[in-house]
Structure 1
Amino acid sequence: MRAQSTTKPLPGSRDLQHLLGSITPVLSPTRYTYCTVPLDEGDPVIESQAVATFLEVEGKTLVVEFEAAVTAGLEAVGEWAMLTMKVHSSLDAVGFIAAIASALAEQRISANVMSGFFHDHVFVQWSRRHDAIAVLEALIARYRSVPGR
């Protein structure tokens, strides 16, 4: 006898046309940086301030406010802006992040993406944050103008 799945259906939209035409990118005013600390070490205070963490074999990746990282004595790697995609995408939506990353890549803007339960977040170079917003607005306009929307 097969075990029944106890997971719920994934919430959010999977319709790529809808998602790309409905994004509202929100630029955080906070300047972030990436840091890493050993898995068995770290500062609980700075880790509690992280907007994102990721455990890897090599260590814990932290995405924290730039100034907080410097104050804590961590090595700050780059300066990043967080763009939150205000549209409730499903975790199994196909092509959504690829379309966003591709549009940014066409303008030579790197995209470091983290998906939360409700929204996707794209970290772009701090110096290119306004360029990234313009790229996303053009992408949105392209999908809003498609017939049938």
Structure 2
Amino acid sequence: MSGEKDLNILLQNMEPVLNAGEYVFCTIENLGGIPDIEKILFFFRETEAVTIVLEKTIADKWSLEYSYISSWITLNIHSSLEAVGLTAAFANALKKENISCNVVAAYFHDHIFIAKKDAEKAMEALHALRLAQDL
């Protein structure tokens, strides 16, 4: 099952879910020093370092540095990796509310990390985007 490609269907049926917790982005040289890799939500290897995203409580326990505390929103609709326009649509809806977003496209869903203080406002903007498609 490769997911939905039609933007209108994606927007009409997306269900944004605010996941519990606080999440942080940290950098490390390599994954070898991580006590429990299962605690990492995701990682991405860049030229400069490895970026990891994990719950703030775990980063604090491991004494990792971070500067941005975020909330995590999952768009519960199986979007295709080939879908065109979904990221632009929700990024523009958030932009109108002056909310920055950091996006991760996984196989089944898109995930949005926004500043913790903007979580409720972001959820309202995403629900409004969905409702606008029903008109």
TM-score by length of 1: 0.86
- Structure 1: stretches of 5+ with no match in the other structure: 1-9
- Cα deviation digits, residues 14-68 of structure 1 (max 9, x gap): 10001011110010011100000013753141x3211111000111101010011
How many positions carry a matched residue from both structures?
A: 135
Whether 1:26 aligns to 2:17 is yes
Task: Decide which of 42, 52, 55 is 1:52's aligned counterpart.
Answer: 42
Look up the match of 1:11.
2
1:131 is displaced (CA, Å) by: 0.3
Look up the match of 2:29.
38
Look up the match of 1:71.
61
Supply the RMSD in Å over aligned alpha carbons.
1.3
**Structure 1 outlier segments of 4+, above 4 Å:** none
Looking at structure 2, the residues matched to 48 and 137 of structure 1 have their Cα atoms a distance apart, in angstroms, of: 32
Looking at structure 1, the residues matched to 121 and 42 of structure 2 have their Cα atoms a distance apart, in angstroms, of: 23
- Cα deviation digits, residues 83-108 of structure 1 (max 9, x gap): 00001110010000110111101111
Looking at structure 2, the residues matched to 42 and 94 of structure 1 have their Cα atoms a distance apart, in angstroms, of: 38
Which is greater in Rg? 1
Look up the match of 1:119.
109
- Cα deviation digits, residues 72-129 of structure 1 (max 9, x gap): 0100221111100001110010000110111101111011000111000000111110
- Structure 2: stretches of 5+ with no match in the other structure: none
Identity rate of aligned residues, in percent? 36
Please state whether the residue corresponding to 1:51 is helix, strand or coil: strand
Look up the match of 1:6.
none
Whether 1:108 aligns to 2:102 is no
Looking at structure 2, the residues matched to 42 and 113 of structure 1 have their Cα atoms a distance apart, in angstroms, of: 26
